[in-house]
A and B are shown apart, each in its own frame.
Chain A
Amino acid sequence: MQRIGVFVCWCGSNIAGTVDVQAVSDALKNEPGVVFSTNYQYMCSQAGQNMIKDAVAEHKLTGIVVCSCSPRMHEATFRKTAAAAGINPYMVEIANIREQCSWVHKDMVTGTEKAIILGKAAVAKVNLNTPLTPGESPVTKRALVIGGGIAGIQTALDIADAGFPVDIVEKKPTIGGKMAQLDKTFPTLDCAACILTPKMVDVAQNDKIRIFSYSEVTDVKGFVGNFDVTIKKHARYVKEDICTGCGACTEKCPMKKVPNEFNLGMDNRSAIYIPFAQAVPKVATIDPNYCNMLKNGKCGVCSKVCAAGAIDYKQQDEFIEEKYGAIVVATGFNPISMDKFDEFAYNQSKDVITSLEFERLTNAAGPTAGKLLRPSDLKHPHTIVFVQCVGSRCDACAEKGKEYCSKICCMYTAKHAMLTRDKYPDTDVYVFYIDVRTPGKNFDEFYRRAVEEYGVHYIKGMVGKVTPEGDKLKVQASDLLANKQLHIDADLVVLAAAIEPDKSARPLATMLTASMDTNDFFTEAHPKLRPVESPTAGVFLSGACQGPKDIPETVSQAGAAASKVIGLLAKDKLTGNPCVASSNELMCNGCSTCERVCPYGAITYENKEFRMPDRTTAIRRIAVVNPAVCQGCGCCTVACPSGAMDLRGFANSQIIAEVDAICK
């Protein structure tokens, strides 16, 4: 049984005006466990706090009930007071007799009656309180960034800048991501490579940053501050530390008919390749699907031409295990497949392309060396139709496409249209749109320039069908404003394909126990207040893996994620919330029900040997809560049928005691 002290606050007249504080402290005197009860003008004042401290000493109190304002006001204050008086801060409960009593009731009798009941409930709860101590865990001062696009790069640079080591894991042979494939960037039209590649070089040269390119994360264990991550480094059959990136091998490689993914298959590369000139790391990679030497042991040209002797056909996948304190997900996006959009004839005509392909066609380092030539016959197109919202903003019930807006298409289409008209004024450019969305800084001005200065034909309406006929693409569309059908003979049709999270995100989310929405975008811990954190502590979100974003937004989120990581890594120890769930292993069924409702992945299972009643032993599966990860919502406690799972500070018995006291 506890020795409880009750302290009723007048709060000047705020409480005492409607509640007979003397009556409250008298009534609570006889409650079980209460050994001392008093009232005072301002409990939160220094004098009031001293009163509590004195009473603790004098009456050997083990628990404290303060009947005062909302715990949201002064719970922390009184917990500190308790700690100073030498009792555990979690042995304090507040009865909210101001906001939820004196301020809402006018009548002294009613107010006093209710205040007594609220006090009794708090006393009943404290009787069952146990001292709680926040758990502490160390922090590994290293961060992992998964994905080496602009989001990952920016996050890594910012973290490294604060002095913490960072590893970037990129599944492609080079970092750079989608931005490296872009030509110009809206709304300023500066060249993507010009602003990205220096950052890539910064990453390569930063001694705090390690790049694991051509690698992926295969396993994540542990929790915030203490992740154990396994990284699989794919064999690239080239010794990364020796290769100078001279490119001799790529020139001499006899296997030259490999679709070049960097140019989205619009031209070819060799079996040993460097994705693009400014690749980081600038080392060659052998594509095992095409290399004759690897496939049937014949060739070996690259090995012969490599002066540095970097080729290693025997190289194996390598597994690296590393500890991290924080993980940033920056897995990015991809345009969706156009396979299901037969109406736009994407698979029938080479001249129906996606916007990303258009980027490569206009890029000086692209397959056409920057000249806008249509892929089928390398002729200059005179009529270009841009189709917006292909696969974006679809019906929930539609079998193809996404419900959400891909956000970036309006702007890059405006960019493409404007650049085309700028370079090739003889070209007719049509843009079919549902809405034009331009809410960013200088965005609407940019779009209006496309229309007003560059004479791009913006038509509100959707393209119904594209039919290849001869060397033309017959575009059938509706103009909703003019309310008429249009037929355009186009040379090139560009589809603004919706974007979706990279396919690698889903398995990664499972490994990280980070939650995702139905579209496979990572969910944030709070959509408004914690937008760059995942609900899983220690896992942060950067870039388009969280939702469609343009570059400025991505970069700012990347910085924000970095600052959160820095804040975490700057700590030597993590102090947890002591009000966490814990499972009584003797009652646990190991049924996984709790795990399924835990938003933080705080619950894992282990097999443990138990002594059975008949003196034999048996292995049973039991739930284990990681107190460093648990946030204390208590969802698991209700999901648990046996009641093995309980929440400290809000235990079943405590809440029931409150219910009982209120209903007494």
Chain B
Amino acid sequence: MQVKEYKPLIVAFCCNWCSYAGADLAGNNRLSYPADVKIIRVPCSCRVNPMFVLRAFQRGADGVILCGCHPGDCHYTSGNYYTRRRMALLFSMLDYLGIEKERTRVEWVSAAEGAKFAATMNDFAEKVAALGENKRLEDLRCKR
């Protein structure tokens, strides 16, 4: 019997200036990472509303990752500092509600870090895949 391989769905929010460019660089260098990762471009990581993160989980995402410029390097000077606080609190709350902590992550990836982008995505996808389907934050109506 052939078991259908479980493919996690991962939504990655990438800031336009660093991480999205980092992802492009990973592409330029042909550094592969799972196709399960789908990138959404945002101007800055601070544009990511916790609601977007929850929305992704509702709609069936198994993991959500935010990528932004390294602290201190934000194109808008301070955006990622706010991201850092917001997501620290959000992730801690999700953990408190019993949501697996490996499903959420924030990673700082600069435009020069194509390799880091690919490595991060490989690692994240692997961790999320190990957890299996997101059952705790899914909306059954949107079941894939």
Residues of A bordering B, CB below 8 Å: 70-72, 96, 98-101, 103-107, 110-111, 113-114, 117-118, 121, 515, 523, 525-527, 535, 579, 597, 599, 631-635, 637-639, 647, 650, 652, 655-656, 658-660, 662-664
Contact = CB atoms under 8 A, between A and B. Distances in A.
A118 B38 contact: yes
A492 to B, nearest CB: 42
Contacts of B52: 655-656, 659
A658 B28 CA distance: 24
B59 A103 contact: no
Contacts of A663: 9, 11, 56, 59-61, 142, 144
B77 A526 contact: yes
Contact of B42 (A71, A105, A655): A655
Contact of B47 (A107, A638, A659): A638
Nearest to A73: B24
Interface string B70-111: 001101111100100010000000000000000000000000
A99 B77 contact: no
**Nearest 6 CB-CB pairings of A with B:** A99-B27, A634-B47, A663-B59, A633-B76, A103-B27, A635-B46
A70 B19 CA distance: 13
Contacts of A110: 35
B23 A100 contact: yes
Contacts of A106: 32
Contacts of B31: 104
A599 B9 contact: no
Given A72-B21, A632-B43, A104 B32 contact: yes
A659 B11 CA distance: 8
A121 B31 CA distance: 23
B26 interface: yes
Contacts, number: 136
B55 interface: yes
Interface string B30-46: 11110100111111101
Nearest to A634: B47
A659 B142 CA distance: 13
A105 B76 CA distance: 32
B124 interface: no
Contacts of B30: 103-104
Interface string B5-29: 0000101000000001101101110
Nearest to B54: A659
Given A100-B39, A111-B35, A656-B55, A72 B82 contact: no
B38 A535 contact: no
Given A96-B39, A647-B43, A650-B43, 8 more contacts: A527-B72, A597-B78, A634-B44, A635-B44, A637-B49, A638-B49, A659-B59, A660-B59
A579 B44 CA distance: 12
A525 B77 contact: yes
B48 interface: yes
B11 A99 contact: no
Contact of A526 (B21, B38, B41, B75): B75
A634 B38 contact: no
Contacts of A107: 35
Contacts of B128: none
B82 A635 contact: yes
A412 to B, nearest CB: 30
Contacts of B118: 104
B104 to A, nearest CB: 14
Contact of B55 (A535, A579, A660, A664): A660
Contacts of B50: 638
A115 to B, nearest CB: 9
A319 to B, nearest CB: 33
A100 B40 contact: no
A73 to B, nearest CB: 8
A210 B9 CA distance: 64
B41 A637 contact: no
A599 B41 contact: no
A113 B77 contact: no
Contacts of B24: 70, 72, 96, 99-100
Contacts of B41: 71, 96
Contacts of B44: 633-635
B82 A597 contact: yes
Contact of A70 (B27, B32, B43, B144): B27
10 contacts: A71-B41, A72-B21, A100-B27, A104-B30, A121-B38, A599-B78, A634-B42, A635-B79, A656-B55, A659-B40
